[in-house]
Amino acid sequence: MSHAIAVLPGDGIGPEITAPTLELLNELGDFTFSEHPFGGASIDAHGTALTDETLDACRASDSVLLAAVGGPKWDTTDPSAPRPEQGLLGLRKELGLFANLRPVRPVPALYDSSALKREVLDGTDLLVVRELTGGIYFGEKTRTDTDASDLCHYTVAEVDRIARVAFDAARKRRNLVHSVDKANVLETSRQWRQVVHEVHGADFGDVELRDQLVDSCAMELIARPTQFDVIVTENLFGDILSDAAAMLSGSLGMLPSASVGNPDGPGLFEPVHGSAPDIAGQGVANPLAMFLSAAMMLRHGLDLEAEATAIETAVDGALADGLRTKDLGGDATTAQALDAVRGRLS
Ligand code: NAI
Ligand code: MG
């Protein structure tokens, strides 16, 4: 069976890292790719960052693979002008993607480029599951001349469904979930904790569950990252913790992400980095975060676990062989990075 992938190359280095990723995927299975304009490229062609045609094509696909959008060409102070980022927010919302997954897996060959010690990093392999569509970012906002407020609101249903994503992910990993909250202070956290335990008791008794306060989690992430497998948390805590955790692996050019949650529709898989306009068009972009995003797509979007692991192992192997693109302090081109990873696939 061929898997239908909607491909959104986007802007800047996007097309340069997309093409080798599709080549790599073609080595691993039967995929049908359809490419669609998105972000700045779509604004240029159609006057909007996300057209109905692109959205319909994404809805009809098994998975959506996105590179990056944006660039100085579309930076504007005119509030009515279309912006590339509107495409991102619109796509996540329209596809019902409420769970953001960010794995952090420092590669031994790159330990020296991390701010942390080798002994601390060694064996780190964790996944932050961040709730993406609720909490204080989406609560009621008020402001007068003398005060302002942001309301943090969660429904039981919103907590229930993100907990399930985390427990499911843990089953494919090391079967451990840390649920992170601030239950000593916040009512939303007390209910969060209760709901997570109810979901656990009802359907995921085989997975180990630990509660942790967010301030303690921040400290432990830097001090002893190897103790974590899956970390599940609400939107604001997840935003902060996932950026902190990301720094364990050193380079922006290495970090993949997934947005999932709608069982009846495709997930969205994309590198954490942006469109890097400063190096676009030179053929020197690091495609590894995009390769690893494709691996997440295989695992979380298409249930192709062996193929996902094959990409990750090949990336590790290529780095161990000495592959270094410019951002990693070397001079390998994007094309050479593809050759190195492809050569390690078998
Ligand atoms: P950026 O991530 O594009 O670049 C930051 C720095 O990292 C640059 O020096 C860039 O050359 C380097 N870099 C990033 N990815 C790289 C890669 N794969 N290989 C080698 N070097 C890489 O962030 P920046 O410069 O703040 O934003 C540039 C544009 O990207 C802006 O328009 C921004 O809005 C957009 N952006 C889009 C995102 C998305 O599509 N999800 C996320 C972040 C930014
Ligand atoms: Mg952030």
Helix (H, G, I), strand (E, B) or coil at 271: strand
| Model pLDDT, residue 275 | 97
First to last CA, the chain: 22
- Distance set, CA 240 to CA 46, 89, 136, 211, 215 (Å): 35, 19, 13, 18, 11
pTM: 0.90
ipTM of the complex: 0.97
Roughly what angle, to the nearest 10 degrees, separates helices 305-320 and 334-343?
A: 120
Q: Which amino acids bring their CB within 6 angstroms of ligand 1?
A: 13, 68-71, 88, 252-253, 270, 273-279, 285-286, 289, 327
Strand partners, 337: none
The rounded distance, in Å, linking the Cα atoms of 115 and 122 is 13
Contact partners, residue 216, CB within 8 Å, separation at least 6? none
Predicted confidence (pLDDT) per residue in 102-138, tens digit: 999 998 888 887 888 999 999 999 999 999 999 998 8
Question: Which ligand is nearest to the Cα of residue 241, counting in written order?
Answer: 2
| Model pLDDT, residue 160 | 98
One-letter identity of residue 112: D
Q: Is residue 117 among the annotated active site residues?
A: no
Q: What backbone torsions phi and psi does residue 87 show, to the nearest 5 degrees?
A: -65, -40
Predicted confidence (pLDDT) per residue in 150-197, tens digit: 999 999 999 999 999 999 999 999 999 999 999 999 999 999 999 999
Q: What proportion of the chain, given as a percentage, has pLDDT over 90?
A: 85
| Model pLDDT, residue 145 | 96
| Model pLDDT, residue 250 | 66
Token code pair at residue 177: 């979930």
| Model pLDDT, residue 248 | 87
Every domain range in the chain assigned CATH 3.40.718.10? 1-101+252-346, 115-249
118 labeled part of a ligand binding site: no
Question: Which ligand is nearest to the Cα of residue 20, counting in written order?
Answer: 1
Q: How far is the CA of 239 from the centre of ligand 2 (A)?
A: 5
Catalytic member of 239, 316, 326, 339: 239
One-letter identity of residue 147: D
Token code pair at residue 301: 């979007």
| Model pLDDT, residue 314 | 97
The rounded distance, in Å, linking the Cα atoms of 287 and 314 is 13
| Model pLDDT, residue 246 | 83
CATH class for the region spanning 115-249: alpha beta
The ranges of the chain with pLDDT < 50 are: none
What number does the ligand 1 atom closest to the CA of 75 have?
A: 32
**Residues whose beta carbons lie less than 5 angstroms from ion ligand 2:** 239
Q: How far is the CA of 288 from the centre of ligand 1 (A)?
A: 14
CATH homologous superfamily of 1-101+252-346 equals Isopropylmalate Dehydrogenase (3.40.718.10)
Atom 1 of ligand 1, nearest CA residue: 274
Token code pair at residue 164: 């399930």
Q: Which of 113, 259, 275, 325 to mutate to test the pocket of ligand 1 (most atoms within 8 A of CB)?
A: 275
Atom 44 of ligand 1, nearest CA residue: 274
Token code pair at residue 4: 């239908």
